[in-house]
């Protein structure tokens, strides 16, 4: 005798596989251009395992590891204000892409702080120069 729950699970898996087969696959993706890295917050990228791979004026090409349900697609549409065109990416490549994005953002934060610290002495000299000029 077959249990109803196992039939439902196998039917869901078949539907998921069929829907994934209809999504185009991108097999050779290595990097995400910098201009697209900032289109989604890092927390969203990590949670939904998706990255923006390209964009036109009204459509984002979004790399995903599996089928996105309507709720997630709706959330991403609302977040970006653009239509979403999903493309399948292998899970291993997705984890590498996300790690690169995370590394780039950490580096960028560290560099921006360092450049701010380096600018302080220049700003201080400029302030003193202008202050001396006003006193004279």
Q: What is the rounded CA–CA span in Å between residue 102 and residue 43?
A: 10
Q: Domain 23-110 carries which CATH code?
A: 3.30.300.160
- 3-48 tens-digit pLDDT: 444 444 454 444 444 445 577 787 778 788 888 888 899 999 999 9
Contact by Cβ (8 Å): 104, 34: yes
Please report the pLDDT score of residue 86 as a whole number: 93
- 78-91 tens-digit pLDDT: 999 999 999 999 99
Q: What is the rounded CA–CA span in Å between residue 126 and residue 136?
A: 16
- Please tell me the pTM assigned to this model: 0.63
Please report the pLDDT score of residue 2 as a whole number: 45
Query: Higher confidence at residue 70 or residue 10?
Result: 70
Question: Which of 87, 97, 113, 88 is CA-nearest to residue 31?
Answer: 97
Q: What average pLDDT does the structure give for the chain?
A: 78
């Amino acid at each position: 005798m077959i249990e109803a729950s196992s039939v439902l699970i196998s039917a869901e898996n078949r539907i998921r596989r069929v829907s994934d087969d209809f999504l185009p696959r991108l097999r050779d993706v290595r990097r995400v251009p910098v201009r697209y890295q900032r289109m989604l917050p890092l927390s969203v990228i990590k949670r939904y395992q998706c990255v923006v791979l390209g964009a036109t004026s009204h459509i984002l090409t979004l790399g995903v590891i599996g089928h996105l349900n309507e709720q997630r697609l709706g959330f991403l549409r609302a977040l970006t204000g653009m239509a979403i065109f999903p493309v399948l990416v292998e899970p291993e490549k997705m984890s590498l892409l996300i790690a690169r994005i995370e590394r780039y953002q950490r580096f960028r934060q560290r560099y921006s702080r360092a450049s701010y610290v380096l600018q302080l002495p220049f700003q201080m000299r400029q302030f003193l120069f202008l202050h001396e000029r006003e006193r004279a």
